[in-house]
Amino acid sequence: MSENMNINLKVWRQPSDQNTGSFETYKVQASPDMSFLEMMDVLNEQIIEEGGEPVAFDHDCREGICGMCSMVINGRPHGPKQGVTTCQLHMRSFSDGDTVVVEPWRASAFPVIKDLSVDRGAFDRIIAAGGYVSVNTGNAVDANSVLIPKDTADKAFEAATCIGCGACVSACKNASAMLFVGAKVTQLSLLPQGQAERESRVVAMVNQMDAEGFGACTNTGACAAECPKEIPLSVIATLNREYTSAKLKGR
Amino acid sequence: MSQKLDSKIPAGNLSDKWTQYRSSVSLVNPANKRNLEVIVVGTGLAGASAAATLAEMGYKVKAFCFQDSPRRAHSIAAQGGINAAKNYQNDGDSVYRLFYDTIKGGDYRAREANVHRLAEVSTNIIDQCVAQGVPFAREYGGTLSNRSFGGTQVQRTFYAAGQTGQQLLLGAYSALERQVGVGNVKMYTRHEMIEVVTIDGKARGIIARDLVSGKLERHFGHAVLLCTGGYGNVFYLSTNAMGSNVTAAWKAHKAGAYFANPCFTQIHPTCIPVSGHYQSKLTLMSESLRNDGRIWVPKAQGDKRHPNDIPEEERDYYLERRYPAFGNLVPRDVASRAAKERCDAGYGVGSSGMAVYLDFRSNMMNKYGRAEATKAGIENPDEATLVRLGKEVVKEKYGNLFDMYKQITDEDPYEVPMRIYPAVHYTMGGLWVDYELQTTVPGLYALGEANFSDHGANRLGASALMQGLADGYFVIPYTVGSYLSKEIHTKAIDTQHEAFEAAEKRASERIEKLMGIQGKRSVESYHRELGLIMWDKCGMARSEAGLKEAIEQIRALREDFYKNVRIPGKVNEFNPELDKAGRVADFLELGELMCVDALNRNESCGGHFREEFQTEEGEALRDDDKFAYVAAWENNGDSWTLHKEELNYENIKIQQRSYK
């Protein structure tokens, strides 16, 4: 807490997607117990005091669950640590005197709004295309009338922990959204409640994913390696299998 | 002095009220629903569930959220679970018991009829969520799993590891997106509501600001639903998300909606303590941890030994000592005050002395380790084996929370007890609503944490998720029909109407005023200063002198804000500093009202603890003769008028709350 760290920041500044962007250099004093975003807060207070324009970045819960924070830090989505979001990354992961490069998610399906903020509306549209169970309020049967083996429920839960942050897309050289789509398809295809729409769902979601301009998957695995929730690469295998099977059935 | 508040509680027996209401409320036929437009502001559990359900029913819905996606709403961060009176554990639970626990937990300051309805629909919520594919925790036989939460003696909490809110919200979000996909809901992300538009006394729409372009937009609705959450961020440091704010509710208040019990704030006992001046928020460690974590401080003041070096007999498990019946599972207000009492008396731990231990070792070894050893047929296991075996079970139950703790503090809670301290978490107060969830402005509704209705002076754990979804899925779809059935002849009103014109002008003048100040201080610095005043004087303990001081300080701070704040950038662009300035401006007004309310309430109840009013044992001392009412405040510009809704307990005997 008393120790101070001097950090050199190279931050991507871009007024909007209509303008080109470039890196700006800043110096910030941080402490090891600060989160990365708190360090960005300090930077912004500093910029405001000097009469400049603060860096725009998305963030909300700061507990690693809402999925709003993004930032590519030293070339890696959510920074150098495994399994954490930017908001849960702490400055103790860096050293005094480090130069840290901060960029937005880069993908044509995620246009830059300003500086480090991007538009991830494409993810919502993919869910709207089919990432649900069609059950109107009031239609449900008693919750314990459908038994689900613990292992199946656990696997569905694991896939369902995706926070929709977009790190997978950012990490992928093709900006593919297969890990995101695979996670939702896996969750719902495992559960009995998801069976009725199993085939139409996967086709609709993949079609929307393609329409949004996400790239193809070449099984490099960068997405799973960078996913802050450690969604496994196997969800992509499930997605491929579900899609092929639906197509073979003429969907 | 005050107009009578009509809570519209239906007549009849408590347990029949809701059934009878539903059977007799006016309906809107499907053809008419298509011509009726409903605005839903906020897309957390209450908002997403309401928007989805109303759209399924055939209404035309417009939904708004300030985040970049409806899935980001702060309900997502709820950890521990959701209550429901399913009695799947066969441990004596019932609708009545859930109702009773909630009223008692709220320290007898909630409305009986609303709470009973909440308990009734709680079971439908679990069914609905499971049908949507929400992956709740399950037992090996495939049935749903339950755990305990504070203030109850049954196991009625359903959960999905330590991220129940996320799973429930993603369920409601998927239902909402489904309706977006079929065109029944028009979704506006990165939009903030900044005015309610009223015409002839009825809510008829909103002015929203597109946070990307900065442009103001006019939206018409036959009814407006505010599902905008709580106002805990008035304290600056809280467990709320950074963007959580009171703006929509506050604008409604200024448009005529009364604000009820604003001083009822929940301070959650188990949060990671403050570690530095730069800190932007506090992180909760779920109440579910109190199922297996024991809270203690050293018996000696200022004991600086490492916790693992302090022997059992030199530890004070003060909750177990003071409250043997409920032990570590006393309600939040009680647990928080007890932690403060120990720390103030010099027994606190950590570098600041403002923390207590939450220790899992004993249950890890003796409860889980021993059971696993027995299962594995290991006789006389040693301590290391018990820890190893128990750790696996604890990991499965709370793994993500332990990881989060380690990430933030750099300490491993499997090895060293967690250090925790209370922090602002939830606000029981909110917009006053009647039984139909309608505010004092006809056509304007408030759901979820944004209203005041169900939790009295203290909310029980795992009940916020229940209330948000109850309001959205199962209450508002009926009650809004009662209003809309009379609106079927109202054609959509053109947004060129003078009321829209005037509301937009008010909003834009306010923004111009803020941008015009161009002073020296950042918005953040004002927010931080306000938070300190609130925490010191309107936080866990309040006093007449402190509150009076706070009111003066807040007024002075507000005046300075309008002279010296500096907002960079321009109006018509993506400008997060401007968004924040508008929210802080509203907090600077709300803070004063909270102190006014706390000063008025000359008693202690639930989370509201006035130092002057306590029992000899330091427990909250209510004054039912004078204060068994909801304090609903009407805004008069720069002052408030108090209206009282008397609380009548016909089914529960009101008594001194005891968890001993």
Pair A147, A212 in one domain: yes
Pair A174, A201 in one domain: yes
Question: What kind and span of H or E run contains B426?
Answer: strand B418-427
Report pLDDT digits (tens) over A97-149: 999 999 999 999 999 999 999 999 999 999 999 999 999 999 999 999 999 99
Q: Predicted confidence band at B549 (pLDDT cuts at 50, 70, 90)?
A: very high
Looking at the partner chain, which of A15, A153, A188 has a beta carbon nearest the beta carbon of B138? A153
Q: Is B265 on the interface with A (CB under 8 A)?
A: no
Q: Is the pLDDT of residue B303 over 80?
A: yes
Q: What angle do CA B70, B74, B77 make, to 5 degrees?
A: 120
> So what's the pLDDT on residue A1?
43
Residue A97: give its domain's CATH number: 3.10.20.30
CB spacing of B124 vs A34 below 8 angstroms? no
CATH of the domain spanning B268-424, picked from 3.40.50.720, 3.40.630.30, 3.40.50.620, 3.90.700.10 = 3.90.700.10
Pair A124, A244 in one domain: yes
Residues of B with CB below 8 A from A88's CB?
A: 404, 407-408
Report pLDDT digits (tens) over B349-402: 998 899 999 999 999 999 999 999 999 999 999 999 999 999 999 998 888 899
Q: Is A123 on the interface with B (CB under 8 A)?
A: yes
Kindly report the CATH number that applies to the domain delimited by B497-638.
1.20.58.100
Q: What does the mean pLDDT of chain A come to?
A: 96
Supply the DSSP string of B464-482, one letter for each residue: HHHHHHIIIIIIHHHHHHH
Pair A164, A76 in one domain: no
Residues of B catalogued as catalytic: 332
CB spacing of A128 vs B181 below 8 angstroms? yes
Pair A81, A195 in one domain: no
Report pLDDT digits (tens) over B566-608: 999 999 999 999 999 999 999 999 999 999 999 999 999 999 9
Q: What is the Cα gyration radius of chain B?
A: 24
The count of other CB atoms within 10 Å of the CB of residue B639 is 11
Q: What does the mean pLDDT of chain B come to?
A: 96
Which residue matches tokens 């929370």?
Answer: B401
Number of helical (H) and strand (E) elements in chain B, helices listed first: 19, 19
Domain definitions of chain B by residue range:
268-424, 497-638
Residues of A with CB below 8 A from B133's CB?
A: 132-133, 156, 187-188, 191, 193-194
Report pLDDT digits (tens) over B154-168: 999 999 988 999 999
Q: Predicted confidence band at B658 (pLDDT cuts at 50, 70, 90)?
A: confident
Pair A142, A185 in one domain: yes
ipTM of the complex in this document: 0.98
Examine the fold and report which residue of A99, A114, A129 is the final residue of a domain before the chain moves on: A114
Which residue matches tokens 């957390």?
Answer: B44
Pairwise CA distance, residues A214 & A220, whole Å: 15
> So what's the pLDDT on residue B1?
41
> So what's the pLDDT on residue B397?
84
Q: Is the pLDDT of residue A187 over 60?
A: yes
Q: Is the pLDDT of residue B3 over 70?
A: no
Pairwise CA distance, residues B121 & B478, whole Å: 13
DSSP code of residue B652: S
CB spacing of A48 vs B522 below 8 angstroms? yes
Examine the fold and report which residue of A114, A141, A156 is the final residue of a domain before the chain moves on: A114
Taking only residues 71 to 100 of chain A, the set having a beta carbon closer than 8 angstroms to any beta carbon of chain B reads 83-84, 88, 90, 92
Which residues make Cβ contacts (< 8 Å) with residue B10, sequence separation at least 6?
B17, B18, B20, B21, B113, B435
Q: Is B143 on the interface with A (CB under 8 A)?
A: yes
Pair A105, A131 in one domain: no
Q: Is the pLDDT of residue A2 over 60?
A: no
Pair A110, A47 in one domain: yes
**For range B187-210, the mean pLDDT:** 98
Sign of the Cα torsion A234, B80, A84, A185 reads positive
Examine the fold and report which residue of A86, A114, A142 is the final residue of a domain before the chain moves on: A114
Of B318, B314, B407, B306, residue with least CA distance to B349: B306
Q: Is B160 on the interface with A (CB under 8 A)?
A: yes
Residue A242 domain boundaries? 120-248
Q: Is the pLDDT of residue B119 over 70?
A: yes
Q: How many domains does chain A have?
A: 2
Q: Is B173 on the interface with A (CB under 8 A)?
A: yes
> So what's the pLDDT on residue B179?
98
> So what's the pLDDT on residue B561?
98
Q: Predicted confidence band at B196 (pLDDT cuts at 50, 70, 90)?
A: very high
Task: Determine the distance in angstroms separating the CA of A217 from the nearest CA of chain B, rounded to an integer.
Answer: 25
CB spacing of A193 vs B132 below 8 angstroms? yes
Pair A103, A141 in one domain: no
Q: Is the pLDDT of residue B539 over 50?
A: yes
Task: Determine the distance in angstroms separating the CA of A102 from the nearest CA of chain B, rounded to an integer.
Answer: 19
Pair A149, A205 in one domain: yes
Sign of the Cα torsion B280, A54, B188, B199 reads positive
DSSP code of residue A19: S
CB spacing of B132 vs A90 below 8 angstroms? no
